[in-house]
């Protein structure tokens, strides 16, 4: 099933800000602005990205914009349709299930390698990151939750001590970020899901402290499977279309 967008099919009403000069390369600034606009649903599924409008809004050259659009296409956030141009990709149950299945395997391996390779300092850092995530949940701050959870996963992946795995997971998380944002912002999200998530991750942390790699891997895979089920429920909660606009 595909989420249908209830907004205009072009970006004319989207308030993208001009790119300000900074130390980061201009292409990276444009890429990050567009990426976050898609993840947050400022640019909704099905929205057509018209070059001339984006150039006017962001005040960048066509060359810089096209480089950013090519990267977004490679990340699976937009698709290029012949005779129409770039369009924000729709969210579908099939793709979410595919991505979350891969995520379960990769994060399971990360938990196993963290258990086997991480030192005490990294384990304490992982615990602090999880505590911060729990506090963000209690404050009902979805954006802060995503920020804290990203930090938690960064610590987990770094402690796994596998550069190849970290690169693969980083690419996957880029693709899956829209579904994660949907799970945290959707008005019909489960009120108890966050408690279940924290409980599952704390159980994984306990397994890490016991140096039980098999259990740590199994627990995080179970947590990802539950997250996938929640995303599927949200996508299917309205057969006529689900709004992905964040709640503020």
- Give the start-to-end residue ranges of the domains of the chain: 26-88, 93-236
Over residues 73-128, the pLDDT tens digits come to 988 899 999 988 999 988 888 999 999 999 999 999 999 999 999 999 999 999 99
Average pLDDT along the chain: 86
Over residues 186-200, the pLDDT tens digits come to 888 888 999 999 999
Nearest-angstrom CA–CA distance, 246 and 120:
38
Least confident of 3-17, 112-126, 145-159: 3-17
CA 49, distance to chain mean position in Å, is 21
Tell me which architecture the domain covering 93-236 has in CATH.
Up-down Bundle (1.20)
Give the tokens for residue 154: 């960064």
Percent of the chain with pLDDT over 90: 57
Yes or no: say if 230 and 196 are a contact pair by the CB < 8 Å rule: no
- According to CATH, the topology of domain 26-88 is Arc Repressor Mutant, subunit A (1.10.10)
């Amino acid at each position: 099933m595909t989420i249908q967008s209830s907004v205009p099919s072009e970006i004319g009403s989207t308030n993208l800000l001009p790119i300000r000069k900074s130390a980061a390369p201009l292409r990276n600034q444009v890429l990050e602005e567009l990426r976050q606009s898609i993840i947050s649903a400022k640019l909704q599924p099905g929205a057509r990205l018209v070059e001339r409008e984006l150039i006017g809004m962001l005040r960048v050259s066509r060359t810089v914009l096209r480089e950013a659009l090519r990267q977004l296409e490679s990340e699976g956030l937009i698709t290029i349709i012949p005779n129409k141009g770039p369009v924000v990709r729709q969210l579908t149950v099939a793709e979410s299930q595919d991505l979350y299945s891969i995520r379960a395997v990769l994060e399971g391996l990360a938990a196993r390698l963290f258990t086997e390779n991480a030192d005490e300092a990294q384990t304490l850092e992982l615990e602090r990151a999880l505590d911060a995530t729990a506090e963000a949940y209690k404050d009902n701050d979805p954006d802060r939750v995503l920020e804290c959870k990203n930090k938690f996963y960064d610590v987990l992946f770094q402690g796994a001590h596998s550069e190849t795995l970290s690169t693969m997971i980083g690419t996957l998380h880029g693709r899956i970020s829209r579904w994660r944002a949907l799970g945290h912002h959707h008005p019909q999200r489960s009120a108890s899901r966050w408690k279940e998530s924290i409980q599952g991750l704390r159980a994984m942390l306990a397994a890490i402290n016991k140096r039980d790699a098999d259990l740590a891997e199994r627990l995080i895979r179970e947590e990802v499977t539950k997250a996938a089920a929640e995303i599927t429920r949200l996508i299917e909660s309205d057969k006529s279309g689900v709004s992905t606009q964040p709640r503020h």
